[in-house]
Structure formats: C-alpha cells, structure tokens
Amino acid sequence: MRLRPTRFGVAFLGLVVLTLIGCINYGLSLGYGLTFLLGGVWTVTAAQATRLARTLHLTLRAPDEGAAGRACGLPVTLHQEGAAVTARVQGRVGRARAALTLDLPAGGSASGTLAFPPLPRGRHRLEDVEVSAFDALGLWAASLPVPGSPEWLVPPAPEANAPAPPTLAAGRGEEGSRVAGQEDFAGLRPYVPGDAPRLISWRHTARTGALVTREFDAPAGQAWALDWDETRGAGDEEARLSRLAAWVTAAQAAGVPFRFSLPGTVQPVAAGEAQVRAARRALALYGAPPTAPQASVAVTRPPLPGPALRFSLLALAAALLPLFLRQPVWNTALVGGVLLYTGLRTQASGRLPPLPGALLLLLALLGGLGLNAAYGTLLGAEAGTALLALLTALKAAETRTVRDARLLGLLGLFLTSTHFFLDQGPLTAGHSVLASGLLLAAAARWVSPAETAPSSPLWPRARLGVTGRLLVLALPLAGLLFALFPRPDGPLWQLPVRQSATTGLADEISAGEYSDLAQSGAVAFRADFSGALPPPEERYWRGPVYETYDGLRWGQVRGAFYPADVRPLAGAPTWSYTLTLEPNGKPWLLTLDVPVQPAPGTGLTGAFQSFTPRPSGARTRSAWQSRPARLGVGDRPERLEFNLQLPSAPQARNPRARALAASWRTLAPEARVRSALRHFAEGNFAYTLSPPTLPEVNRIDAFLFGTRQGFCEHYASAFTFLMRAAGVPARIVGGYQGGEINPNGDYLIVRQRDAHAWTEVWLAGQGWVRVDPTAATAPARVRADLPTALARPGATTPGERTALDALRLRFDALQNSWNIWVVGYDGAQQRSLLARLGVREVGSPTYLLGVAGLAGLALLPALLAMRRAALPQDPARRALAELAQRLGLPRAPGETAGAYAERAARQFPAQAERLDRVARQFNALRYGPAPSAQAQRELEREVRAVRRRER
C-alpha cells in the first residue's frame, strides 16, 4: 500500500506549518491549539484512508470489441463492505492515462468505465493499475496496486464504403465441392472455445454430457476470398488492413463463410465467431502496429454545483464573522456584498453575470487604499486581516474550479487563526472550532462526485457529522502537542504586530483623560498574589510618569537620565504576584511601587517606571516582587530642576495659583505639601466624572478658584502645579489604584475605571514621595472603589455586592483560569510541567521517547474508530471479514461464504471443519427464517476460535 497526501493535503499541511510558525513567533497560545487540532485532523485522516483502502475490491474486464481510432472504455466495478468511501481507479495504456472516481455506499458497489482516447491497432494492456481510497476530507490517498490487468487486441478500423469482397470461385475446388457455410447440416464436431452458443447441440450434450457443435456447409462458390492480394488498390499497408477488416465485418453480418489470408497467415474457408475472431486477431497483430498519435483532448469544465459552492461561501462568512465586528463598516459591507452576490449567482442559474476581472481588481485597489487610510498601515493585525478578508471575498467571486473552491477553505482556516491576534478568549476559541468544522465540511463536499452533484443539499448533515467526528478524534493528539510541543521564550524574528489603540493610559494627559477611562469596565490586568494582598492604600499600580507641562497637557520625558535609585525600606513587606496584563500596545507595565525583582526581559527607567522594550499586542503574564522603598533619594540636581519648571506663556501663567503657592515658600517642604492638601480638603472641592469644561487660558486658576469640580487628573495637575510654584519638585504619575478582590480565585481585578493619577514630590532625605490629592477630597477613592467614591466620597469601605456582581465575579474567575492555563501557557509553565513529570529539558532523549509514546496512545482511539468503521456494517458480514483478517486470505468480490470456506480449507486443511461450521452458521444467520442474537454470538465465537495465520 502506498499512502501519500493529495495536492490539497500538501496545501493543508503547508497551512498548518505556516500557522505554527506564526504562533511560535507571536506567542499565540490559543493559535497553538487550533494549529494542533488541524494537524491532528491531518494525521487521523491518514489512518482513515489507509483503513478504507484495505476494504476495496476491484473487478476489471477487457473492453468490448472495438477498433483503432475509436474511444476505448474498460468496465470497472468497485466493491467494499465497510463505511462509505470515495475511491479512484486509474491506469495507463501506453502513454494514455485514465482515471475514474466513484462513490461507494457503505457495504456496496459502484461501477463505471475507465475511458481512454482512441487507441492504435495492436495489442494493448492496462498497466500501472491503482485503486485509491480517499479520506473524508480528501487530504490523503491510500493506493493499492492491482495485479492481473486485462489485455485486449484492437483491430484496424473497417474501411468506410469498402468495395464488395471477391467470391471464392467454384472452379478452384473439385466440382460440387463444399465449404463451411450456413446452408446445409454437415455433422457434429467437438466444441471449440469461441463457438457460438446457438451452434451447440444441447440435446446431444444433455444425453452424453459432452459439448459438441453442429457444422454446416455450402457450395464453395458462395464463400468469400478475403485475401491480402485482393487489396492492392486500397493504398498503404494500413489502408489494406482496413479493407480486410471491413470485409470481415461484412462476412460476419451476412453469415457468409470466408477464406482469410495475410502474409504468413492463412485461414481456410470457414464461418462463425471463431473464424471472425481469428481474422481480427491476425489483423490486429500484423506487422508493427503504428504508434498512437498524441491527440489533444479539449477539456470542458462544467460549472460548479450551486449547493456545494453556497455552503463553502456560508462557511467562509462564518469564519469572517469576528472580523465583520471589528473592521470598518464599509469594508464589512463590501465583503458581505461580494459574498452575497456570488451566492445569488449560483442560485440564479446563470441569470446574474459574473463580476468582471477589471472590477474585482478595482475593488481590491480601492479597498487597500481605504484600509490604509483607516488604519494608517496595511501591515498591522487589524489592517492586514481586513485586507485579507477583502481579497478572499474577491477570490470567491472568481471561483470557477474545484481547486479554487478548496483554496477558499484554506484561506478561511488561515483567517480563522488570525482572530487570535486580537482576542484569545473562550468565545473566540469556540468560534474557531465551529468555523473550522464548517470549513472542513465544505472541503469534504469537493471530494466526492455525488456531493458536487446539482441535487446535493445545501446543508450536508452527513459531512458535518463526519467532520465533527474527525475533530473529536484529533483532540487527544492536539491536547498532547499543546502541552508538550516546545515553546520558545522569544520570537523567531522581530516584526511587531501593529494594531489600533486600545482603551488604556495615554502618552499625554489633560483634563478629562482619566474620567473618560472611568466609564469603561474593561479589565486592564489581573494580579494573583502568592501571599497576603497589600492594603488598599498601597495598591498603587505605577504606569507612565508625566513630567513636562505646556499649560494644557502633561507629557513624558523622552530619554533616559540615569539608573533608578531604589532603596528598599527595612522591615517593609515584600509582595509577590503574577500580573496578567491585557493587550494595550504600550511599553509600560503596571507594577506596585517598587519592583525589587523585575520580570525577565523588563527594565526600570530613571522615573521608576517598569517597561518592556517590545510591547506586545497580546495578553502577557509576568511574575514580580515589589517592596516599599525610598525612590530617587540621590537624584541629580538637573533632574530636580527639570521637575520645577512651569510654562512661561501668558495663557498658562495662572497668577492666582502662583500667588497661593508663593505664600507657602516660607514653610518647610513637608509643610507646603500639607498646606496644599488642606486647601483641597477644606476648599469645598467635589469629586465628579462630569466636571465643567475648563478654559484653555489659566486652566489651573479656573479649577482651583472657579469650578472646584473634577476627577483625579484635575487634582493631580493642580497639586503638581502648586508644588512646583512653591519650589517643591513634583510630577504626575499615571496608573491604576485599587482593584476588586475576586473571592472565587483570591486575586485582584483591576479595571480601566480604576485608572488614576497622583503626584510625586521630592523631599530631601526621603526622595520621591507619593501624594494623592484626590484622597483629600474623596477618601473613598483610595479606601473603597470608584462607584463608592462618586456616591459617598468620605466612605471607607465599598458598598455591598449584588447577586449580579457575584455572578460577574464567578465568570471572571473562569476567564482568569482560562488566561492562566490556556492563553498564558508558555515555555516556563511547560518546563514546570515537565519537571514534575521527571523530564529535565525539552529535546532530551527522555522527552522524545515520552512524546512518541504518548502520541501513539493519543492516536489509539482514532485507529480503533477507523478500524471499526472499515468493517462491514452488517454483524454477520463483519464476522466474515474478521475471519478473512485472521486467515490473511481476502474474500473475492461476490464470493459466497461457502465458496470462501472451501478455498480457505484447501489452504488451511487443519481448520477445514471449523471453517465449514462458520460458513453454515453464516448462511443460517443471513438467510434463515429467524436470525437471533444467540446465533450471531455463536458465529462470532467460532470465528474467534479460528487460529490466526502465522506471519
């Protein structure tokens, strides 16, 4: 048996390898799962094709008598007793090849004709005959060679309008001589193979038991003389042979006896089928037969069947559904419109014209320009997938062949894998499995000729069921590879996946930035502590640090000053936690003040801001240790001077705020800080998400002495201005404060609405000290949560949770577990798992042997399922098939149980008695009046008692 992937199977494997490389480079854990699931399907279908091929039996017959120059067809019959299968028979005659694809029902047969182009005169033999079984998806072809190919002769084509053949003159023999003919009975002779059944004397045969043939004769003058010499005027050698062929055909039709002669061959006068057959054989083999001309055969492609193509379009639309919800509306309308028009064309039976190629090219160009304008690039995850979706839809519009339809399925699978760039949640995982199942079912429809028939249903439940079973059988191998396939800690190459901005902290802030974030309940990150959680007043998650101010916006310093000066406090607690950060496309990381053991691949700026040099567009997990410390005690004077600067523009001078701050300059720095905080606590300030709009001129004055309503960025901005004006170095720190404890997993959920801004002031001997002016107005913002701070600013505990809150937290716990064990499964977790299993490193001999052994166990359910499916559906026939397997002696197609038992007994005489009992029990069970379960069990017991053939 020869097992090889089809062209579609090779392309499918290429897709699996391509997606695997992408998952490795971009760390798409869920992408690994889908890739290994598809790889498992590719492997399982190989076993399916192998099993199905072993159940096939081929019967070939020589073609009916033809002639040179005429099309030749070999009758083919395929039989099998297992599950339904699509099979192909192919062979070669000379240089001409032919193939025939048949659909075999479960336990049934199918027949067809292996058609060859016109063959030249001579002897021909069907060579290189193969029968191949395809798996349900057409990924593999398992081929078996077929011995004993038929051989036949092709005589020359009879000449059209040939002259009348010459008659054998009576004078050439004795007077009154007679020759074989059809007029008068001449006697009986022994039967010769080839004699016509109508000439056999059946009465004599019944009396004696011997076949005899009746002979007739006629006057010699009525016979024809079909001699080579009589064809001189016909032309070349082949023309003369064609004339003789025409005369033989005429003699056969008229029933006239004839004499036949060729150089080196003479047949005496005779009549009948044997005489005709001998003459045609001599004509076919005379001399050197001509070489077959290379005739060009025009291949006409029928239109693709509507239901199959519509189902492929439906599966493709299902795969594109998440993209429809993310890309621009106009691109969704364009893609959906093209797919809908293409589907309507298949329904309209030619009434709708195809989209012109020039129009498709124009749509691709305009779509690319529009997406580039919308995203600013065509290389990002969102822009790239949107462009690929458009191109795939345009490809669907020009689909003309089965190869094009299969390509649509591969493109749909690739697009399904790109969803993981944007989300790796459970819903995306479920959608990817569902979309893959539909796309594979669509691919399965292009394997079988019956499935592509015009009458095939739009919704192929059988194909969906088969595809679903394949996915289930591939799950064990996919799970094994997901857990044990090597996962590198870094990408293969540096090619960042750009994507549009997501909700999160900004590079610059002004009044209103953080209050906008407070409207979002999206998760920013989760923190899972290995010990006790820090108290609420210490849950400040440090992010970007804003040190420049132009009167309207605060920005970050672009450039490094010097290494961070961190001095941990003696006796302060150390908090160990794992941070699961949602994708935000930013380089900063959110950590507690201040990390004493940064995660691998991260750093700490001079402003004590944790960062990663390569921001990721995917969810990331990292382990941290933080501890309260003195920050920047020894900061350089130039750095401190920089954090005293205020804008000099007239519209940003804020004279009233400067005057207030100047009144504190006689105080110690700590007293200046306390004075500013007292101003906020006693100045009738209000904490709100919807403060009045502040003017662009003297904005700080307008807030401090006018509106007195704001969110955290209003207070942090005004406080930092006052401190700088009072001669205290100050800056704004952005990040998140607080978090919600989830009792279902004892971890902290920090949402976008927890975004917060506070101030850091530099005090001699203490360094940078955190000061939160918002807490002076709304203590609940730090001690409770945002909703409590808005409703009861002075509260110290959060409000009671409702039943809906409890349900939401339980769902978030499931999401967190998914993130840890599926999305966050990486090389470190894999190495930890292998260490618990006693494997030291990936790639070691123990690792390789273990993976090989476990892979065999993972494939065992699939192998058993395929073996069972290949057995006959009928229990009695299944027992007979098991008998053939035990003996290693296949049954011939159509061979009865009794005949098979006799043949097997001759080869295994020691088991003849048992084989006879098996045959009798089978016949009683199959053809008896009342078959019972007991009889079936007895048959199976007898079969199991047959000794296996020693190999």
The residue type at 645: Q
Average pLDDT over residues 186-205: 71
Q: Count the neighbouring beta carbons within 10 Å of the beta carbon of residue 61.
A: 11
- 354-378 pLDDT, tens digit each: 899 999 999 999 999 999 999 888 8
Task: Specify the pLDDT at position 827.
Answer: 86
Which helix or strand (DSSP H or E) is residue 268 part of? Answer: strand 265-270
Average pLDDT over residues 590-607: 85
| 3 state SS of 276 | helix
Residues 685 and 773 in one domain: yes
Task: Specify the pLDDT at position 215.
Answer: 66
Give the residue, 785 or 160, on which the prediction is more confident: 160
The residue type at 116: F
Residues 426 and 537 in one domain: no
Residues 308 and 448 in one domain: yes
In a domain, 772, yes or no: yes
Q: Which of 54-63, 286-295, 411-420 has the lowest mean pLDDT?
A: 286-295
CATH number at residue 97: 2.60.40.10
Residues 551 and 649 in one domain: yes
The domain boundary residue, chosen from 254, 285, 316: 285
Interatomic CA distance for residues 706 and 697, integer angstroms: 13
Which structure tokens are listed for 326? 């993310």
Residues 246 and 325 in one domain: no
Does the pLDDT of residue 184 top 70, yes or no? no
Residues 521 and 669 in one domain: yes
Residues 383 and 278 in one domain: no
Interatomic CA distance for residues 297 and 281, integer angstroms: 29
Q: Count the neighbouring beta carbons within 10 Å of the beta carbon of residue 413.
A: 25
- 433-481 pLDDT, tens digit each: 999 999 999 999 999 887 777 777 877 877 888 999 999 999 999 999 9
Task: Specify the pLDDT at position 106.
Answer: 82
678 and 660 Cβ atoms separated by less than 8 Å: no
Q: Which of 242-246, 673-677, 867-871 has the lowest mean pLDDT?
A: 867-871
pLDDT band at 782 (very low <50, low <70, confident <90, very high): confident
Residue 712 is a catalytic residue: yes
Give the HSE-up count for residue 164: Cα atoms under 13 Å, Cβ half-sphere: 6
Which structure tokens are listed for 147? 């011995």
In a domain, 637, yes or no: yes
pLDDT band at 560 (very low <50, low <70, confident <90, very high): low
Q: Which residue in this structure is represented by tokens 């691949």?
A: 601
Domain hosting residue 381, numbered range: 301-454
Task: Specify the pLDDT at position 847.
Answer: 92
- 304-335 pLDDT, tens digit each: 888 899 999 999 999 999 998 889 999 999 99
Phi, psi of 104 (to 5 degrees): -105, 125
In a domain, 159, yes or no: no
In a domain, 600, yes or no: yes
8-22, 44-58, 867-881: which is most confident = 8-22
Residues 6+ apart with CB under 8 A from 53: 1, 87, 131, 132, 133, 142, 143, 144
The per-type count for the chain, helices as H runs and strands as E runs, is: 28, 35
In a domain, 850, yes or no: no
Does the pLDDT of residue 177 top 60, yes or no? no
The one catalytic residue in 423, 635, 772, 785 is 772
Residues 275 and 351 in one domain: no
In a domain, 633, yes or no: yes
Does the pLDDT of residue 176 top 50, yes or no? no
Interatomic CA distance for residues 783 and 536, integer angstroms: 6
Does the pLDDT of residue 493 top 70, yes or no? no
Task: Specify the pLDDT at position 294.
Answer: 46
pLDDT band at 216 (very low <50, low <70, confident <90, very high): low
The one catalytic residue in 79, 712, 714, 785 is 712
Residue 772 is a catalytic residue: yes
In a domain, 14, yes or no: no
338 and 396 Cβ atoms separated by less than 8 Å: yes
Does the pLDDT of residue 747 top 70, yes or no? yes
Which structure tokens are listed for 430? 């479920």
Outline where DSSP puts E strands in 833-917. none
Residues 89 and 179 in one domain: no
Q: Work out how many domains the chain is built from and give that number.
A: 5
What is the helix, strand, coil percentage profile of the chain, to 5?
A: 45, 20, 35
Q: Which residue in this structure is represented by tokens 């005949």?
A: 899
The one catalytic residue in 227, 419, 756, 812 is 756
Interatomic CA distance for residues 33 and 18, integer angstroms: 14
94-98, 394-398, 777-781, 923-927: which is most confident = 394-398
Average pLDDT over residues 900-916: 90
Global pTM reads 0.80
Residues 719 and 588 in one domain: yes
Give the residue, 753 or 7, on which the prediction is more confident: 7
Residues 762 and 895 in one domain: no
In a domain, 855, yes or no: no
Task: Specify the pLDDT at position 617.
Answer: 64
Residues 114 and 184 in one domain: no
495-509, 547-561, 804-818: which is most confident = 804-818
Give the residue, 392 or 832, on which the prediction is more confident: 392
